Amino acid sequence: MHIADYQVTKAILERHGFSFKKSLGQNFLTDTNILQKIVETAEIDDQTNVIEIGPGIGALTEFIAEKAAEVMAFEIDDRLMPILADTLRDFDNVTVINEDVLKADLARHIKNFKNPNLPIKVVANLPYYITTPILMHLIDSKIPFTEFVVMMQKEVADRISASPNTKAYGSLTIAVQYHMTAKVAFIVPKTVFVPAPNVDSAILKMTRRAAPMVEVTDEAFFFKVAKIAFRHRRKTLWNNLQSAFGKTEEVRVQLTKSLENAEISPKIRGEALTIKEFAKLAEALLPLK
Ligand code: SAM
Same domain, 73 and 12: yes
Q: Last residue of a domain, which of 155, 185, 208?
A: 208
Residue 85 maps to which CATH number?
Answer: 3.40.50.150
- 135 lies in some domain: yes
Same domain, 180 and 223: no
Same domain, 268 and 134: no
My answer on whether omega of the bond before 195 falls inside 30° of 0, hence cis, is yes
Q: Last residue of a domain, which of 181, 208, 235?
A: 208
159's CB contacts (< 8 A; 6+ apart) are 168, 169, 170, 172, 173
pLDDT tens digits, 12-67: 999 999 999 999 999 999 999 999 999 999 999 999 999 999 999 999 999 999 99
pLDDT tens digits, 220-274: 999 999 999 999 999 999 999 999 999 999 999 999 999 999 999 999 999 999 9
Same domain, 204 and 242: no
- 76 lies in some domain: yes
ipTM: 0.99
- 1 lies in some domain: no
CA of 104 to the centre of ligand 1 (A): 14
Residue 232 maps to which CATH number?
Answer: 1.10.8.100
Residue 100 is labelled as binding a ligand = yes
Supply the mean pLDDT for the chain.
Answer: 97
Task: Summarize the confidence of residues 145-172 as an average pLDDT.
Answer: 97
Residue 125 is labelled as binding a ligand = yes
From 75, 137, 194, mutation site for ligand 1 pocket: most ligand atoms within 8 A of C-beta: 75
- 73 lies in some domain: yes
Query: Do residues 65 and 93 lie in contact, with contact meaning Cβ atoms separated by under 8 Å?
Result: yes
Task: Summarize the confidence of residues 95-114 as an average pLDDT.
Answer: 97
Residue 200: domain span:
6-208
- 214 lies in some domain: no
Q: What is residue 269's predicted lDDT score, i.e. its pLDDT?
A: 96
List own/partner pairs for 62-68 with CB under 8 A and 24 or more apart.
62/2, 62/3, 62/4, 62/87, 62/88, 62/91, 63/2, 63/4, 63/32, 63/35, 63/36, 63/38, 63/39, 64/39, 64/123, 65/91, 65/93, 65/94, 66/39, 67/39, 68/44, 68/93
Alpha helices in the chain (DSSP H): 6-15, 32-42, 59-67, 80-87, 106-109, 131-140, 154-160, 171-177, 219-229, 237-245, 249-262, 275-284
- 278 lies in some domain: yes
Same domain, 64 and 199: yes
Give 44: exposed, middle or buried? Use CB within 10 Å, 0-12, 13-18, 19+.
Answer: buried
Amino acid at 182: A
Same domain, 84 and 160: yes
- 213 lies in some domain: no
Same domain, 15 and 89: yes
CA of 247 to the centre of ligand 1 (A): 46
Q: Last residue of a domain, which of 178, 208, 238?
A: 208
Query: Do residues 81 and 98 lie in contact, with contact meaning Cβ atoms separated by under 8 Å?
Result: yes
Residue 198 is labelled as binding a ligand = no
Share of residues in the chain with pLDDT > 90 (%): 100
Query: Do residues 135 and 157 lie in contact, with contact meaning Cβ atoms separated by under 8 Å?
Result: no
Looking at ligand 1, which atom is closest to the CA of residue 30? 5
Query: Do residues 255 and 266 lie in contact, with contact meaning Cβ atoms separated by under 8 Å?
Result: yes
pTM of the model: 0.95
pLDDT band at 275 (very low <50, low <70, confident <90, very high): very high
Looking at ligand 1, which atom is closest to the CA of residue 21? 16
**How many domains are contained in the chain?**
2
